[in-house]
Amino acid sequence: MSLDTVKHATETPDVEQPWAELGLKQDEYERIREILGRRPTGAELAMYSVMWSEHCSYKSSKVHLKQFGEKAPENDALLVGIGENAGVVDVGQGYAVTFKVESHNHPSYIEPYQGAATGVGGIVRDILAMGARPVAVMDPLRFGAADHPDTKRVLPGVVAGIGGYGNCLGLPNIGGEVVFDPCYQGNPLVNALCVGVMKHEDIHLAKASGSGNKVILYGARTGGDGIGGVSVLASETFDDTKPAKRPAVQVGDPFQEKLLIECTLEIFRENLVTGIQDLGGAGLSCATSELASAGSGGMRVELDTVPLRDSSLSPEEILMSESQERMCAIVEPGKVDRFLEICEKWDVIATVIGEVTDGSQLEIFWHGEQIVDVPPRSVAHEGPTYHRPYARPDWQDALQADDANKLARPANAEELRAQILQLVGSPNQASKAWITDQYDRFVQGNTVLAQPEDSGMVRIDEDSDLGVAVATDGNGRYTKLDPYAGAQLALAEAYRNVAASGAKPLAVSDCLNFGSPEDPAVMWQFAEATRGLADACQTLGTPVTGGNVSLYNQTGEVAIHPTPVVAVLGVIDDVNRRTPIAFADEGQLLYLLGDTREELGGSAWSQVVHDHLGGLPPKVDLERERLLAEILISASRDGMVDAAHDLSDGGLIQALVESCLRGGKGARLVVPDALDPFVFLFSESAGRAIVAVPRSEELRFTDMCGARGLPATRIGVIDGAEIDVQGQFSIPLSELKDAHEGTIPSLIA
């Protein structure tokens, strides 16, 4: 079959093209023809199809995402915001930190190991492309029912992929979540986060400027993996002699990525690039069009110079391949030789594949024949914008009316004790050590907090002990009950987790996981959650610096719970002042901070004991969250508390069990007169934390809380080897440990 060149496309306007098989709508295809003034070539059609996909163009979500910019709070720390590979914030002492969370959900269901591994690899390259050294990763995960046979297939592969890739890179995995719920059956959520550190002057952006500057592709060779969902080979327009099936999921090589990281950082140190972009989703189609679109001119690429793993690849496949461990750099001609020398030193393949032009088009050639001639912005930044219809679902009122506060409660102290053991041994509340022990949390030697702490924390300057903390949170059950409040609760919990460890929250990245945008009910959930998150970020002063939207997360007609995962990054001046969750010193006083109300909607108790989802989630009070954070940060800095743990899923009793088991010390509690013992232990009211206060600091601490108007109730003391709720029950730590630690291994191992 002859090559479909620009000339041929111009001369044959009526050739049928497989736009529908490539995921394009008819009006989108007509729009491409209008932009080009002709039908697209096969290569151009391939580029538009991947770049105008939901994953790359955000066509259903960007009308809502713009709120993150419109409502962005004033924040002097923000150095790079939404629109680049990752956001960047100033953390002081000349340091900048970049972080981002993204999804790799669908590939991880198809091929759990490689899907999860390449999710880690992709987010690490996003951070690297900003000019930063990656220093830590995290992974918020969601799976189907813990006892479902397919969970046993998917979870171990995902965990092995995350651990295998991250451990080989030498990056500590410092946090994340693991949540089980039947709604994720057949559609697990595998979100990956990376944090990187650089000096302010080392920030790099994705743009191709300077006519005559060279375009260099470096890293792994390009293969046929990752072409998958667009089904290039189903089309008769493309060369039918090619292999009939390509792997849909990218294949990762962490050792190649490690070389790429060190090679790129040395290139940065010698100031050899004017622009850089990693190759992730949409591969070369994305990198070339985005670099050219953000630059000052055009770009010419000789596609046949791209190093291949498979010589049978067509031009369309090369453009769409999502092979891993690749980067694209813009380099001045006089610096090319040194750039290539460094790549050779690190055993990284590097090839000049084109140059920046003074024109306005992205032009791609194949053995001298022009196969692409497009305005780069039309590919990268001017894709379709959908105003999807959305409407509050007709079942929402009934769901909220099914009040969890009316569920049957334990009739006596014995039942209360039994339900506590049932809760702490349930899959979502049980220890995740079987999973996290497969990750190296302390490689590089700068990890100061990691799972199961409230937030992960790493030292970024060994002389001053400056550090950053990151937490990710998201409760799909809350968000199903009330998408606006649920998204705010996700932010509030991550914000609270960072503050509980002693760090000041600075900025947000998010991964918004939802069902099909073609369903008005799902689109309403998305619109409400986005609005809620934007409003809350504005109130708390934490700008959204970037993130990811993952749609079509559903099995058949059944969507997952709306699951906005929110990552909050904070800074701490001295990591030696960090606050752990462990209760370690007998005699210290336990204080409950915040107000406890009868709030059980979406709670862990309602799920574990009654398999129930209904009512309203806990109320959100963002000003209270801000005040609580200020108290926790001040108390940590000034040595007034030795341990702190936020209260969230499972309420006070869950936090208490985790802190007691972590420190190996028990606690004696007294139920406040104003509270029912059940509500005291199981309520999930937000804006609360439990702290361990040395007796010598009690007066100073309570005076601070009183002066600032934060309720602080003394509820007990660290003591013994059991949790003793006076007048109710006691449970030995050994019994709690067995319940807490045995669940996941028995289900998964």
* The predicted structure's pLDDT at residue 340: 98
* The predicted structure's pLDDT at residue 297: 86
Can you tell me the distance from the alpha carbon of 239 to that of 18, in angstroms, rounded to the nearest whole number? 13
Can you tell me the distance from the alpha carbon of 330 to that of 350, in angstroms, rounded to the nearest whole number? 12
Q: Is 104 annotated as a binding residue?
A: yes
**Max CA-CA distance within the chain?**
88
Q: Is 446 annotated as a binding residue?
A: no
In order of their start, the domains of the chain are 6-62+204-380 (3.90.650.10)
The single residue listed with the structure tokens 């290139």 is: 267
* The predicted structure's pLDDT at residue 491: 98
Q: At 36, phi and psi to the nearest 5?
A: -85, -20
Pairing state between β 78-80 and 87-92: antiparallel
Can you tell me the distance from the alpha carbon of 114 to that of 651, in angstroms, rounded to the nearest whole number? 36
Query: Which residue out of 55, 64, 204, 561 is catalytically annotated?
Result: 55
Edge-to-edge strands, sheet with 504-513: 447-449, 456-459, 467-473, 563-572, 504-513, 544-550
Contacts of 97 (CB under 8 A, 6+ apart): 88, 89, 91, 132, 195, 196, 197, 460, 468, 569, 571
Q: Is 102 annotated as a binding residue?
A: yes
Global pTM exceeds 0.85: yes
* The predicted structure's pLDDT at residue 252: 85
Which amino acid, one-letter code, is at 584?
A: A
Secondary element (H or E) of residue 18: none
Q: Which two tokens stand for residue 417?
A: 């004790």
Q: Is 25 annotated as a binding residue?
A: no
Q: Report the candidate in 607, 617, 600 with the shortest Cα–Cα distance to residue 651.
A: 600
Can you tell me the distance from the alpha carbon of 380 to that of 287, in angstroms, rounded to the nearest whole number? 9
Helix residue ranges per DSSP H, 425-453: 433-436
Q: Is 126 annotated as a binding residue?
A: yes
Can you tell me the distance from the alpha carbon of 747 to that of 749, in angstroms, rounded to the nearest whole number? 6
Taking each helix axis as running N to C, give the angle between helix 622-637 and helix 698-708, from 0 to 180 degrees, rounded to the nearest 10: 150
Contacts of 2 (CB under 8 A, 6+ apart): 8
Q: Where are the beta strands (DSSP E) in 393-465?
A: 447-449, 456-459
Q: Is 278 annotated as a binding residue?
A: yes
* The predicted structure's pLDDT at residue 50: 93
Q: Which residues pair with 356 in a beta bridge?
A: 299
Q: Which two tokens stand for residue 162?
A: 């995350």
Taking each helix axis as running N to C, give the angle between helix 254-269 and helix 336-345, from 0 to 180 degrees, rounded to the nearest 10: 140
Query: Which residue out of 64, 104, 148, 204 is catalytically annotated?
Result: 104
Q: Report the candidate in 184, 182, 193, 20 with the shortest Cα–Cα distance to residue 106.
A: 184
Q: Is 341 annotated as a binding residue?
A: no
Q: Is 139 annotated as a binding residue?
A: no
Q: Is 585 annotated as a binding residue?
A: no
SS3 label, residue 218: strand
Count the Cβ atoms, other than its own, within 10 Å of residue 334.
8
Q: Which two tokens stand for residue 601?
A: 């909607």
Residue 535: HSE in the Cβ half-sphere, 13 Å Cα cutoff: 17
* The predicted structure's pLDDT at residue 389: 97
CB 47 within 8 A of CB 287: no
Can you tell me the distance from the alpha carbon of 2 to that of 9, in angstroms, rounded to the nearest whole number? 12
CB 567 within 8 A of CB 494: yes
CB 550 within 8 A of CB 103: yes
CB 508 within 8 A of CB 537: yes
Would you give the DSSP letter of residue 205? -
User: Residue 734 burial by CB count (10 A; 0-12/13-18/19+): exposed, middle or buried?
Assistant: exposed
Q: What is the Rg, in whole angstroms, of the alpha carbon atoms belonging to the chain?
A: 27
Q: In whole angstroms, how far apart are CA 652 and each of 600, 646, 648, 656, 685?
A: 12, 9, 8, 6, 9
CB 71 within 8 A of CB 535: yes
Q: In whole angstroms, how far apart are CA 580 and each of 175, 212, 651?
A: 14, 54, 18
Exposure string over 50-71, b if 16+ CB within 10 A, otherwise e: bbbbbbbbbbbbeebbebbeeb
Q: Is 55 a catalytic residue?
A: yes
Binned average pLDDT, 10 residues per bin, the chain of 749 residues? 88 94 94 96 95 92 95 90 90 96 92 93 94 96 95 95 95 96 96 96 86 96 71 30 50 92 96 93 91 90 96 93 94 97 98 96 96 95 94 98 96 97 98 95 94 97 97 98 98 98 97 96 98 98 95 92 98 97 97 98 98 98 98 97 98 98 97 95 98 98 98 97 96 98 90
